[in-house]
Amino acid sequence: MPDQSQISAISQITEIVGSQVAASSLAVVPEIVTSAVGLSSVSVIMEIGPELPRSIVPDISGSPGTVATFNGGASVTDTFNWEWVSIPAESGIVNLPDNASGSLMADNEVLFHFDGNTTDSSGNNKSLTLAGNPFAPDPYGRATGSLGYSSGSSVAILDSPVSLAGGNWTIAFWFYNLIPQGNYRSAVRGTSNIDVQIIIENNSERLGTFIHAGGNPRFRPSGFSMPSASYQGWHHIAAVGSGTTTQFYVDGVYVGVSDRKSVHDVHSIGNYESPTSGGLQQRFAERLDEFAIWSRALSAPEIREVYNLGVAGARPVTPLPDNGVGSLMADNVALFHFDSNGNDSSGNGINLTLSNSPSFVGGYVGNSIDLNGTNQTASTTDSRVKLTGDMSLFTWIFLDDLTDNDNLIRCGGAGEAPANNLLYFIQLEGTSGDILYIHEYGPGNNQSVVVSGMVSAGQWLHIGFVRDATAKTVKFYRDGRVIQTFSYTDNADGGSTSPLFLGSNGAGDRFMNGRFDEFAIWSRALSSSDVAQIYDSQSGQPLDTVSFTPDVVGTYSVSLATTKNGYSESATASANITGGSASTGIGNMAGASLYSRSLSGTHFLIPFTGIDPSEDLD
């Protein structure tokens, strides 16, 4: 009989990769085929679970003023998430520029880096008093320090309040670990019984502003919720008071608008006010960093720039090129940036007609068109959008809600006459994020499919489809990836009188409640690499490398978090900026004897003996 062997007798496991074997079945290795074969000759012991992520990033070295690059390209992952761990105290690479230097900082009124002090770096010398329970600048900040709010009574007070009465304004800062609900969470507030410019409502956790105009204090929601569990770790928030409204941005992206704007001042930061003056404990977060106020309304790209300064690996977000420039934009029929109008930037002059004055607010790339879900739409009757063959359509979309049968995109008329055929059509199907796609041929004959999980409410998504009339397929994309392919039998035809409507059915109902940005149509089938190029250039998501230019000598450390098949892992690496050449390793695993992963809530520690952790284990 072959020898029976317990798994505890195995002294070395060289690799574990994915298969269908459940972890619970690994208690025993049932048999060794022959006792004459030593275990050391076995090249594969077993396979468990799905393939897991591996965060691999080498340490590097360099010198000030020369671009340095962390490379995580050897990692096994679907996504990269880089974060600065620490940088030298004298470095300014993650800070907003001092003394209103550069166009981004024009009209900067207040700037607190909180790097071990409460100095105002705007050049305006605003002083800050720390009140409530004693607390001090926290050395364990976003990268170089932050202001820690150690208790419910901690608050920072501007000795000379910053007036907002002169017109438009912007307030922006980083925060760490949003305080759980239990009371309102007040980020910035005016003098006694005056407005709270950024506040999260208790219980509902809605983000908004609190206005005391006319002696009638009232919370004014933005339409966006911030549950504290979703905002642990470092995040960025900005409020832009423009005209009569306040627009809100979270992590560089526009999320909603309040219908009121504060016209008073900013007095307290991080809490309602000091309890000694009768105020309540309404801490916003455990720490704040890079707090700034401008006496102007920053644009959506400027808010993104402010956010990107503090994010390792963040990339600029760029609009699609105008006038068909470049191979990507070949056969571009229509392009709508929606920066302040419905004009076509493709060079074809297919401008949209706007019904009932939709507004233009912050979008994902620049501004976006905001449709109210009641009576607003955008449309064109131009024949060049009436496509029956190859075509591609992509857009960024933010849906405030998911209402069954709401029309997102409709190129088609009413009735079953061929001239009114739906040439392409997308509407919400149910309330779970599915959509219905239709195109028609002959006298209103349908080719249709339900696409599961195409959209979600309350977040920006990049969605679209590619129709190949030769292959007779429609590929549906979400955030740069194909999520479903539809094979059909008959191409679209007719539609000579079919108009294009965005956000309605053109008959006075089924209005969409949400926003479009960077809406584009091509009269060709884009390749998967084309779609990936669009998404990568506009998503701002980090790729597998982080490049930066160190400005002082010292150690710069980053963390790389990777995810795959629902699991995650992280590693750290450092740049030693003194000069010299790069060294290599596997993040924080170099020299380690234990490799730790979290699998579906169960934590496994797998021993490695006689293996160099710096080697590629593939």
Q: 60-89+545-607 is classed in which CATH architecture?
A: Sandwich (2.60)
- Kindly state the average pLDDT of the residues 586-591: 32
> Is the CATH number of domain 103-309 3.90.1410.10?
no
Mean pLDDT over each residue of the chain, to the nearest integer: 84
The pLDDT > 70 percentage for the chain reads: 82
Element housing 361 (H / E): strand 359-362
Give CATH 2.60.120.200 domain extents, the chain.
103-309, 327-539
Q: What local confidence, expressed as pLDDT, does residue 272 receive? A: 84
For the stretch 391-408, pLDDT in tens is 999 999 999 999 999 999
Q: What local confidence, expressed as pLDDT, does residue 617 receive? A: 34
Q: What local confidence, expressed as pLDDT, does residue 151 receive? A: 83
> Is the CATH number of domain 327-539 2.60.120.200?
yes
Measured CA angle at 210 (ends 293, 147), to 5 deg: 45
Residue 160 sits at φ, ψ, to 5 deg, of: -120, 105
Q: Which tokens hold the place of 145? A: 């320090």
For the stretch 151-168, pLDDT in tens is 888 889 999 999 999 799
For the stretch 231-281, pLDDT in tens is 998 999 999 999 999 999 999 999 999 999 999 999 999 998 755 555 568
β-strand pairing of 79-86 with 500-502: unpaired
For the stretch 467-511, pLDDT in tens is 999 999 999 999 999 999 999 999 999 999 999 999 999 888 899
| Cβ atoms < 10 Å from Cβ of 455 | 21
Q: What local confidence, expressed as pLDDT, does residue 119 receive? A: 93
Distance CA 174, CA 119 (A): 17
Q: Is the pLDDT of residue 228 over 90?
A: yes
Q: Which residues contact 264 (CB under 8 A, 6 or more apart)?
A: 163, 164, 165, 190, 191, 194, 195, 212
For the stretch 320-336, pLDDT in tens is 999 999 999 999 999 99
Q: Which residues contact 348 (CB under 8 A, 6 or more apart)?
A: 333, 334, 384
**DSSP labels, 26-48:** -SEE---S-TTS-GGG-S-----
Q: What local confidence, expressed as pLDDT, does residue 488 receive? A: 98
Q: What local confidence, expressed as pLDDT, does residue 70 receive? A: 94
- Kindly state the average pLDDT of the residues 285-295: 95
The model carries a pTM of 0.76
Query: Torsion-angle region of residue 97: left (phi > 0), alpha (psi -120 to 50) or beta?
Result: beta
For the stretch 513-550, pLDDT in tens is 999 999 999 999 999 999 999 998 898 877 788 899 99
Alpha carbon 294 to its chain centroid, in Å, reads 24
Higher-confidence position of 23 and 465: 465
Q: What local confidence, expressed as pLDDT, does residue 607 receive? A: 33
Give CATH 2.60.40 domain extents, the chain.
60-89+545-607
Higher-confidence position of 12 and 123: 123
Q: What local confidence, expressed as pLDDT, does residue 302 receive? A: 93
For the stretch 294-326, pLDDT in tens is 999 999 889 999 998 888 877 788 999 999 999
Distance CA 210, CA 199 (A): 7
User: For residue 145, which amino acid is it?
Assistant: G
Confidence band, pLDDT 50/70/90 cuts, at residue 45: very low
